[in-house]
Structure 1
Amino acid sequence: MALEKPIADTDEARNIAAMVARARAAQAQIEHYTQEQIDELITAMVWANCQPGVAEKIAQHTVDESQLGDYNGKFTKISVKTRAALLDIIDDKSVGVIEEDKERNIIKIAKPVGVIGALSPSTNPEATPVIKAINAVKGRNAIIIAPHPRAKITNKMIVDNMRAAIEKLGAPADLVQAIELPSLDGTNELMKQCDLILATGGPGMVHSAYSSGTPALGVGAGNACITVDETADLDFAAEKIRLSKTFDLAASCSSDNTVIAVESIYDELLAKLIDKGGYLAQAGDYEKIAAVLWEDGHLNAKAVVKPAPVLCEMAGIEIPSDRTFIIMPETGFGPEHPYSGEKLSVIMAFYKVKNVDEAVELTNNIQAYQGMGHSCGIYSTSDENVLKLASGTKTSRVMVNQPQSPSNSGNLWNGMRQTFSLGCGTWGGNSTNENIYWKHLVNVTWVSKPLATPKVIPSDEELFGAVMDKLK
C-alpha cells in the first residue's frame, strides 16, 4: 500500500487526487494477473496505436499539433519503435519469481510499485506514451501521463486508444490515464501524489521531479558527440550521420549534435557529408543562425526542429532547397561557442582533432558544458580506439558504427533496451545510467535461504596479505 500523502486544497490537486484514486483501484484489479494476462494487455496497447490506418493518423496529427519534426519520423516512431519496444519486453518474466541466483541462494520476486506518474515531452509525443505505458503495465502498475501542452490532443488520442483496448480485454481502462488539460500545477500535483515519477522532458521539469518528494527516475540533457577516426568507412559513416542528424528533423536529444573528425580524414569526410546533403556554413552564417536559434541563452522554440532551408531563411540565409542539414565548423566549447551545446536542429558542429586521444578530451569538454553522461559514438574499425573512447569519456552509452539517434534508445540492430528514457548516471544528475524499462518500475522482494556451505573468513594473512606489512 502506498504511503498516504497530504493533498492541497485546490481544484488542481483534487482533480489529480481523483485520477490517482481511479488508478489505484484499477491497479488493484490487475495486481494478481498472470504473466499471460499482462502480456496480452501490453500487446493490445501497442496494436491499438501501431496498426495500419491508426499509425498514419497519429503521425500526421502529431506533426500538425506540435509543429515539430516530420511525418516520416513520427510514423516510424509510432509504427516501428512501439513494435520494437513490445518485442523487447514481451518475453521478459515480470510476474512472480523473476530471478533465481543459485550461487547466493537468492530468489527475487517482482511487485508492482502502484501508480506511475509519467511526463511526456513535445519532441517524442507519439511513441513515448505507448512505451512508458506498456513498461508500467508490464510491472502490473497503473500510469497517469502528463503531456507537454504542445501535444496534449495527440496524447489523449493515443491514451484513448490504449484505454479502449484494455477495456475490450476485460481490464480497467483507468490503468492508463492522461491529463487532458496539462498545466504546471497539475503536473506538479501528479508528481507529488503518484508513487514513482518517470520524467522525460526539459531540465527544469526533471529537476521538479527530483524535488517533488516522490521517488523519481529522471533523464539528463542530450548532446551526442560522434567521433570518426582514420579507420572508419567514410561513405558508411557519412550516410549514417546524415540519417541520424535528419531523422524527425533532429527532434531527438540523441541527434548527432557534434561530429569530431580525425585530421587525416577530415577533408574527405566533409566532402562526403556535403555530398549526402549537408550545407557547409559560410562566413557570417555562424552569427546569423545563432541569433535566430538562441534567445537570451536559451533555444528558441520557434526555430528548433525545422528543415535546414527554413531555419536558414529565418536567419536571412539562402541555401539550396535540397540541403537537409547544416555543417557548422567549430573550434571551442562552452557558452562562447553555442554550437557546442544541444541544438535540437539539423545543425552539426564539426571539429578537427589530431587523434582519438584528442577526441576523448574534446568530447568530455563539450559534454561538461551540456550533455554529460548521456551518449557518444564512434565510427571505427579499431577496437583499440573504440575502447579508448569508451574508457575515457564520462558517458553512459557509446554507439559503435551506428546512427546515434535511432540506436542509443534501442533498435533492432543492437541489444540496447528499447526506451525513450535514457538515464545519464551521476554525470547527468540521475540515479541510473541505464535505458529505463519495466525493471526500473517494480519493487523486488529478495528471498534469502541459507547457503549449503557457509562462507568462512580466511586468515588475516590471506585476507589482508602484503597490506599488513605496508601499514606497519
Structure 2
Amino acid sequence: MRELVHEAARRARVAATSLAVTPRGIKDAALLAAADALVEATPQLLAANAKDVDAARADGTPEHVIDRLALDADRVEAFAQGLRDVAALPDPVGEVVRGSTLANGLRMQQVRVPIGVIGMIYEGRPNVTADAAGICLKAGNAVLLRGSSSAKHSNAAIVDVMRAAIEKAGLPADAVQAIPADDRLSATELMQARGLVDLVIPRGGAGLIQAVVEQSTVPVIETGVGNCHVYVDADADLDMALDIVMNAKTQRTSVCNAAESLLVHRDVADAFVPRVVAALRDAGVTIHGDPSFVAADPAVLPVTDEDHAAEFLALEISAAVVDSLDAAVEHIRTFSSHHTEAIVTSSLASAQRFAASVDAAAVMVNASTRFTDGGELGFGAEIGISTQKLHARGPMGLPEMTTTTYVVTGEGHTR
C-alpha cells in the first residue's frame, strides 16, 4: 500500500509542477469541462451512488449519514455548479499580497503560489470529491482524494469523469487522483507521506479528524465538528429568532453548520421558550432542555453536559436559559467546537460584544448558522471549514489553498 500511495503522490507532484505555471484560462476551461461532464454523466454517477447507498442501508447506517452519502440529479448539478462558480472567481495564483520598494531600492513582493500536493481524507460525502478537486485545481494544486469506503463507487465515478474531462481540456489527469479506500492503511500512508504530500485536510467526524491530527507527519489543516449555538438575546426580535432557530436546526440536519444548541436570555424566556418548543416539537425535533424547557413541555428530555457538547447531526438539540449575554458566552466557550456561533439581537452593542467574545471560526448576527459555507459566502465551492487558527480559519476557498513566496528584485544589489 505504501508504494501505491507514494507512486500516486509522485505522479501528483509532477502534475502540480505543471499546474503551478498553467494560465488561468486553461484551468477555468478544464473546470467548466469537468462541470459539463459531471452533469452529462449523471445517470452513471447515480447508478454508482445507488450501490453505496444500498450497501450503507444493508449495514444499518443511520439515515442522517445516508443523507450525506446520497446523490440525486439536483446534488450533481449543485457540485457541478460549484465548479463553474470556482472557474468564475479570480485566480489567486500570482496575486500580490503586499509589496513595497525599500529604502535601498530593492522591490519586494509577497506573491500567492500553490501549496503543491494536497491530500484529502474525508468521510461519505461524494460532493467533497468534486469540490476539493475543483478548488485545488484552480489554486494550482494536485489533489489525492481518499474518501471513505462507504462512498467508494460514487467517488471513483466522479474522479473518472473529472480526470477524463480535465485531460481533454489540457491539464494533467494526475492532478486529480483517488486513493483506494478499502484498506485503512491507505489513509495512514497518505498522512505520513511527508516530502511527497505538502498538506493533509481531514473532513468528517471527530474521530477521523482526531486520528489524522494525531497520526499525520504531514502538516494538517483541521476541519472541525460543528456544535453550533444560536443565542436569543434579551433584545431579540422573537419572530426573527424563531425563523433563525428553525432554519438553523431543521433545514438540513446532517451538516456541520446546523445548529445543535439553543440559548435563550431569561428576560425573553417566558415569551420565547413555549413558542420555540412547540415549533421544534412540530418539526419532529427532540429537545434536551434545562428546567425552563422541561416546564414548557413534558416531552422535553432533561439536558446533560454530554448533550450540551454533542454534535447530533439529527433532529435533536440541546437548550438552556441563561441569565445574561456573558453567561451565554461562558456556556459557548465551555461547550463550543469553535465552528459557528449565532446571536439574534437588535442591540448593536450586544452583537459586537458577542462577536468579540466567542471563540469561533464564524459568527452570525441575525442570520442562520447555515450560512457558514463557502458557496453561500461567495467563495464558490469550499474544501472544508477550518476550526483551527493557523493559516486558514472558517470556510476554505481558493486563497486558503495557496501559500506565498517573497519575490525580491534588485539591480545588482549586494549586502
Residues 96-149 of structure 1: CA distance to partner in whole angstroms, max 9, x if unpaired?
Answer: 344453587542333333321101222xx1321222111211122211111122
Q: Call closer, same or farther: CA 1:205–1:260 in 2, change over 3 Å.
A: same
Report deviation, 1:204: 3.8
Runs of 5+ unmatched residues, structure 2: 57-62, 293-302, 411-415
For the residue of structure 1 that corresponds to 2:136, the secondary structure is helix
For the residue of structure 2 that corresponds to 1:273, the secondary structure is helix
- Residue aligning to 1:235: 239
Q: Call closer, same or farther: CA 1:431–1:221 in 2, change over 3 Å.
A: farther
Rounded to whole Å, the distance in 2 between the matches of 1:90 and 1:432 is: 22
| TM-score with structure 1 setting the length | 0.71
Is 1:195 matched up with 2:163?
no
- Residue aligning to 2:10: 21
Rounded to whole Å, the distance in 2 between the matches of 1:73 and 1:261 is: 35
Rounded to whole Å, the distance in 1 between the matches of 2:41 and 2:346 is: 39
How big is the alpha-carbon RMSD for the aligned residues of Structure 1 and Structure 2? 3.3
Q: Call closer, same or farther: CA 1:442–1:323 in 2, change over 3 Å.
A: closer
Residues 81 and 127 in structure 1, CA contact (< 8 A), matched pair in contact too: yes
For the residue of structure 2 that corresponds to 1:231, the secondary structure is coil
Counterpart of 2:11 in structure 1: which amino acid? R
Q: In structure 2, which of residues 213, 222, 226 is the aligned counterpart of residue 218 of structure 1? A: 222
Counterpart of 2:113 in structure 1: which amino acid? K
Rounded to whole Å, the distance in 2 between the matches of 1:269 and 1:106 is: 57
Residues 364 and 393 in structure 1, CA contact (< 8 A), matched pair in contact too: yes
Rounded to whole Å, the distance in 2 between the matches of 1:359 and 1:133 is: 39
Q: Percent identity, aligned pairs only?
A: 23
- Residue aligning to 2:109: 107
- Residue aligning to 1:339: 307
Residues 228-262 of structure 1: CA distance to partner in whole angstroms, max 9, x if unpaired?
Answer: 123333233323322222234x2112211101011
Is 1:366 matched up with 2:366?
no
Rounded to whole Å, the distance in 2 between the matches of 1:59 and 1:265 is: 51
Q: Which has the higher contact order (CA 8 A, sep 6+)?
A: 2
Query: Structure 1 residue runs of 4+, over 6 Å off?
Result: none
Residues 59 and 71 in structure 1, CA contact (< 8 A), matched pair in contact too: no
Residues 274-333 of structure 1: CA distance to partner in whole angstroms, max 9, x if unpaired?
Answer: 454x22xxxxxxxxxxxxxxxxxxxxxxxxxxxxxxxxxxxxxxxxxx64322221379x
Runs of 5+ unmatched residues, structure 1: 1-11, 280-321, 451-472
Residues 233 and 265 in structure 2, CA contact (< 8 A), matched pair in contact too: yes
- Residue aligning to 1:326: 286
Rounded to whole Å, the distance in 2 between the matches of 1:74 and 1:380 is: 37
For the residue of structure 1 that corresponds to 2:335, the secondary structure is helix
Report deviation, 1:404: 0.9
For the residue of structure 1 that corresponds to 2:245, the secondary structure is helix
- Residue aligning to 1:205: 208
Counterpart of 2:129 in structure 1: which amino acid? P
Rounded to whole Å, the distance in 2 between the matches of 1:37 and 1:396 is: 33
Residues 409 and 420 in structure 1, CA contact (< 8 A), matched pair in contact too: no
Rounded to whole Å, the distance in 1 between the matches of 2:318 and 2:10 is: 48
- Residue aligning to 2:85: 87
Q: Call closer, same or farther: CA 1:185–1:244 in 2, change over 3 Å.
A: same
Residues 43-75 of structure 1: CA distance to partner in whole angstroms, max 9, x if unpaired?
Answer: 333444357956993897475555525489965
Is 1:254 matched up with 2:214?
no
Q: Call closer, same or farther: CA 1:400–1:239 in 2, change over 3 Å.
A: same
Rounded to whole Å, the distance in 2 between the matches of 1:226 and 1:385 is: 14
